[in-house]
Amino acid sequence: MPPTGDSGPDYYAQINKLVVADTGSPVEMAARYLAVCLGTLTFVVLTGIVGLLFWLAIYLTINLTYLFILLRITKPATRWHLRLAEVLNILSALAFSTVMPLLWVSGDTPERAAAVCLLVAQMIFNVGRHGANRTILAWDALSMSAIALYFAYDLTRSNDELLVRIAVGVATLAVAAYYATVLRENFTQNQKRESDVARMVQANRREAVGQLTAGIAHDFNNILTAVLGHLELARATDDSRDQRASMAAAHQAASRAARLTGQLLAFSHQAPQAVVRCDLAMLMAGIVAMAEGVLPRRITLWADLADDVPSVLVDKTQCETAVFNILTNARDATAGPGDIHLSLNQTVIGRPRRLTWGSMLSPGTYAVVMVEDRGSGMDHDLLQRAPEPFFSGKGLGQGSGLGLAMVKGFAEQSGGGLAMTSSLGVGTVVSLYLPIPQVSLP
């Protein structure tokens, strides 16, 4: 397959429509191929047209090749993939269409009737299945109209009766008018659909910006209230001990504001990174030592750290903060006594892999930091919203809702990604992927 540069979700969506149109269910595909094969063999027996067997072999080869390649295209897809799928679809349709003229010129009334029936069936199939792809629909209209014109020309050429010529002319015009109407309606509907999608995207953007702005304003208002309140208390008292306590509280609130700003930058992929060579096994060992002093006694932290994972290039502080955020979420999800498992391994990604929230991992070697808990877990809807900024499933006043968004932003800014699986009452598994450089680090 060609390289997957210049990726675009629109191309994959269009290719997926071709997959749905031309594959269908396994039962439908089996019935379709069975009908083509049995119909061809029946005509060979009844008419003796051996050339239909060669046609069948060519058609099956082209069609199965088209479906094989179509099903191997994965996301992200490129314009090249879409054009390849369209060309193969047109070749497959062309191979099928050749049987109609073959039947028309090879036989008498039964064969010609079968050719007309196939023409009508192909027209209905094309419009019903390929209406969303203008390129393929236009080719279908051109090829079917050409075959209909050929049938009409041959009929009028071999028959001098006026009524026959009029009937053939009207039928041909009806075919042309039908396809012209379909193409016009398809173009109008596609324009309306694209306009509706654009309006929906714009509305979603406004909603996201509004949610983000409201969350930032709410959190910073709380922080500023704490800072100003404690500074006011420090100014109003003469007791140096009370002043120090108020100043310490104000400093703590200001530090929270700094952390919030850092989380916002990480979420937006704009956080300045001090990238250094990092031994993740050593870093995770230090995190385990610190976490054991922070986690409640009811929770046991188990660590399985492979010592052969090569070093990575990341911001050490941000990486440490990201893992702590994941461990904090695991702690909060474990209401009673329980275990949290922290592991470090490496894995090889052979082809682009789609992660939980739509981001992609490029092929390569990755270090994987995995945190697994047996806590309350999340349902599908909550899991899909988990990385949204200022969205928290912990309840009112518990967490800013930026922890997981920050982890996801850090992972993607570092060239990796974040994946999560969760089930209600079963627990959650969070996997942080960080790329291992192709060349060994000094």
Reported in sequence order, the residue ranges of 229-331 that DSSP labels E, i.e. its strands, are 275-278, 299-305, 312-315
- Rounded-to-integer distance, Cα 31 and Cα 42, Å: 16
- pLDDT at res. 223: 65
Higher pLDDT, 403 or 114: 114
Highest mean pLDDT among 75-89, 115-129, 180-194, 195-209: 75-89
DSSP string, 352-417: -EE-TTS-EEPSEEEEEEEEEE-S----HHHHHHTTSTT--SS-TTS--S-HHHHHHHHHHHTT-E
What type of residue is 362?
A: S
At which residue do the structure tokens 């409640």 appear?
A: 296
Tell me, what DSSP letter sits at residue 25? -
Q: Mean of the pLDDT values across residues 223-231?
A: 67
- Rounded-to-integer distance, Cα 35 and Cα 301, Å: 61
Answer whether residue 271 shows pLDDT above 60. Answer: no
Band of pLDDT at residue 219, cut at 50, 70 and 90: low
What type of residue is 29?
A: M
Answer whether residue 347 shows pLDDT above 60. Answer: yes
- Rounded-to-integer distance, Cα 4 and Cα 381, Å: 31
- Rounded-to-integer distance, Cα 367 and Cα 415, Å: 12
- pLDDT at res. 397: 43
At which residue do the structure tokens 């968004």 appear?
A: 405
pLDDT digits over 119-128, tens only? 777 777 776 6
pLDDT digits over 236-249, tens only? 777 677 667 767 76
pTM, two decimal places? 0.46
Token pair belonging to 35: 């009908």
- pLDDT at res. 88: 86
Cβ contact 405:386 at 8 Å: no
Band of pLDDT at residue 6, cut at 50, 70 and 90: very low
- Rounded-to-integer distance, Cα 254 and Cα 249, Å: 9
Which of these, 161, 169, 386, lies nearest to 394 by C-alpha position? 386
Reported in sequence order, the residue ranges of 191-307 that DSSP labels E, i.e. its strands, are 275-278, 299-305
Cβ contact 280:312 at 8 Å: yes
- pLDDT at res. 304: 92
Higher pLDDT, 31 or 175: 31
- pLDDT at res. 130: 66
Q: Give the Cα-Cα-Cα angle 119, 120, 123 (nearest 5 degrees).
A: 85
Among 23-27, 35-39, 47-51, 368-372, whose mean pLDDT is lowest?
Answer: 23-27
Q: How far is CA 390 from CA 135, 216, 259, 386, 400, in A?
A: 44, 8, 14, 10, 6
What is the three-class DSSP state of 338?
strand
What is the three-class DSSP state of 31?
helix
- Rounded-to-integer distance, Cα 356 and Cα 421, Å: 8
Question: Residue 76, preceding bond cis, omega within 30 degrees?
Answer: yes
